[in-house]
Structure 1
Amino acid sequence: MKIISWNVNGIRACQTKGLVPWMIASGADCLCFQETKANREQLNDEMLAVADYKAVFASAEKKGYSGVATYYRQEPLSVNLLGAAEFDQEGRTLILEFEDFFLLNCYFPNSQDGGARLDYKLAFCAAALEKCRELCATGKHIVMCGDYNIAHQPIDLARPKENETSAGYLPEEREWMSTFLNAGYVDSFRLFDSSPGKYTWWSFRARARERNVGWRIDYHCVDEAFRDRVKSAAIFPEVMGSDHCPVSIELA
C-alpha cells in the first residue's frame, strides 16, 4: 500500500495549481491532506470525485482554518476522530482502520511565536501518543502521518542554531518527539535516508525553497513492530502547490 501525506495549505488553492491531476498520477492508495481550510460542502465536483477515490473530511469549526482530509481506494473498516473535543473542533485528526493497521492523518498545532500555543501543542502531542498506544493495544499496527510541525534533530532544518527559539524547534517539542520515538515508534524516512538537506517545508520568504533553506516537519511514523513492512519512504520537493511538499511511505 502506498500512502502519501501532504500539507496542501488550502485544498481549494492547491486545486488551482494542479492538485487533481497530481493525485491521479500519484499511484497512491491513500492520500492524506492537512491544512485543508475547507469542509466538504465548499469543494467542487472535481475535488469530490477524483478517479476511484472516496474521501472523508475532518474540518475545523472555524471557517478557512486547519482541517484534514483522507482520500482512499480501499474501504476502511472504520473512520474516527481523535476523540478529544478541544482538538476535534479544529479538525486535527482522522483515523482510518484497515485490516492490520490504523492510519492516523494528523495536523499537529503550530506552537506559534513565543510559544503562544505551546501548551495546546503539547497536549495534542500527548493525546496523539496515547491514541497510538491505545490502537496498538488492539493488536494492530499504526501509521501516523502528517504535518507534525516539529523538526526533531539539527539535521532536520537548514539553520538549527538560528532557530533554537522558533516554533517547531522548541526544546519541549523536540523532547516530545524523542519521547514518542523512544516509546516504540519509527521515523520511516530515516530508515532509508540519513543525509542532511532533506526538507518538507520552506518559508515563502527570501527564496527559501529555491535555496533549500527548509525544515523537515512532515512524517510517516510507524510502530516498531511494523518497520519491516516499510518498503520505502520518500520526500518529493519538486512537487509544487504549497509551502510543504508531499511525503510518501510504501508498505509491503
Structure 2
Amino acid sequence: MKLISWNVNGLRAILKKDFMATFEALDADFFCLQETKMQAGQVDLDLPGYHTYFNYAQRKGYSGTAIFTKHQPDNVTYGLGIPEHDTEGRVITLEYPNFYMITCYTPNSQSELKRLDYRMTWDDAFRDYVDRLSQEKSVIFCGDLNVAHEAIDLKNDKTNHHNAGFSDEEREKFTALLDSGFIDTFRHFYPDKTGVYSWWSYRFNARKNNAGWRIDYFCTSKDLQPKLKDAKILTDIYGSDHCPIELDIADLN
C-alpha cells in the first residue's frame, strides 16, 4: 500500500497548482491532507474510486484536515473526543479491521511560543489518544506534527533553538510519543540522512537554498515494523510550502 501525507496550505489554492495531476500520478491508497483551510461546500472534488472525509475548523479559512482513500473504513471519527481540542478540524481517524489510519495537523506554538502551553496539553492528549487506540489494533498516524525532532531534522538548528517547532518542550513531547510505542518511519529507514526536509519558509529563498525543516511524519505502532517497506520525502513536488511525504507498507487488510 502507498500512503501519502501533505500539508497543502489551502486546498482551494493548491487545486489551481496542478494538485489533481500530482494526486493522480501518486495513485495512493490513502492521501491525507492537512491545513485544508476550507469549509463544507467550498470545493467540488471529483475523485473516482476514492472515499473522502473532511474535518473542518469552526474558524473559516483555518486549519482543517482530509483523507481520500480507496479503502472504505468500518468507522470514521473526527477529533480527539475532547471539546477544547476539537474545534480546529485537526484529526480524522479511519478504523479498519486490523488498523487505525489517522491524519493529524498539530497546533503551531506560534511566535515567541505564545501558544506553547496549549500545545503541551494537545501533545499529551494526542499521545493518550493514539496509545489507547494501539491497545486495540495497529496504528498509523501522519501529518504536519509541527516539530523537528532532532538537530538533524532542520538546516539551522542553533539559530532556531527555542523557536516554535524546535523548542525543548516540543521535542521532548515527540520523544515521549515515540517512546510510548511508535516508529518515526523516515528515521527507521534513514537514521543519519541529512539535508532532507518537508517544509520551507516562503521567505529568504528558503526552498531554493534548502533551508528547511522535517516536520511532516508517518509514524506507526511498533508491531507494524516488519511490514514497513520504505519512507520517502517527495521534495521535487511543489504547490505548497510543504512537500508530500510517502509511506510504503505491506497490505494490512
Which of the five TM-score ranges fits, normalised by the shorter chain?
Answer: over 0.9
Q: List aligned pairs for 1:71-110, cutoff 5 A.
A: 71-81=68-78, 82-110=80-108
Query: Which of 152, 156, 174 is the equivalent residue of 1:155?
Result: 152
1:182 aligns with 2:175: no
Partner of 2:18: 18
Q: List aligned pairs for 1:49-60, cutoff 5 A.
A: 49-60=46-57
Shift of 1:250: 1.3
SS at match of 2:41: helix
CA distance in 2 between partners of 1:227 and 1:128 (Å): 21
Q: List aligned pairs for 1:1-252, cutoff 5 A.
A: 1-44=1-44, 48-81=45-78, 82-138=80-136, 140-193=137-190, 194-252=192-250
Deviations along 1:52-107, whole A, 9 cap, x unmatched? 21211000000000000000111011100221122221001000012211011000
Kindly provide the amino acid, as one letter, of the partner of residue 42 in structure 1. Answer: Q
Aligned residue pairs total 248
CA distance in 2 between partners of 1:87 and 1:198 (Å): 31
SS at match of 1:61: coil
CA distance in 1 between partners of 2:109 and 2:97 (Å): 35
Shift of 1:20: 1.1
Shift of 1:41: 0.7
Q: Give the TM-score taking structure 1 as reference length.
A: 0.96
SS at match of 1:96: strand
RMSD: 0.9
CA distance in 2 between partners of 1:20 and 1:98 (Å): 27
CA distance in 2 between partners of 1:87 and 1:226 (Å): 28
CA distance in 2 between partners of 1:112 and 1:221 (Å): 24
Q: Give the TM-score taking structure 2 as reference length.
A: 0.96
Kindly provide the amino acid, as one letter, of the partner of residue 55 in structure 2. Answer: A
Kindly provide the amino acid, as one letter, of the partner of residue 52 in structure 2. Answer: A
Shift of 1:39: 2.3
Kindly provide the amino acid, as one letter, of the partner of residue 162 in structure 2. Answer: T
Deviations along 1:31-50, whole A, 9 cap, x unmatched? 00000001231102xxx222
- The answer as to whether partners of 1:30 and 1:71 remain within 8 angstroms in 2 is yes
CA distance in 1 between partners of 2:164 and 2:148 (Å): 10
Larger deviation, residues 238-247 vs 92-101: 92-101
- The answer as to whether partners of 1:66 and 1:107 remain within 8 angstroms in 2 is yes
CA distance in 2 between partners of 1:251 and 1:165 (Å): 35
Where does structure 2 lack aligned partners over 5 or more consecutive residues? none
CA distance in 1 between partners of 2:217 and 2:171 (Å): 14
Kindly provide the amino acid, as one letter, of the partner of residue 147 in structure 1. Answer: D
Identity %: 42
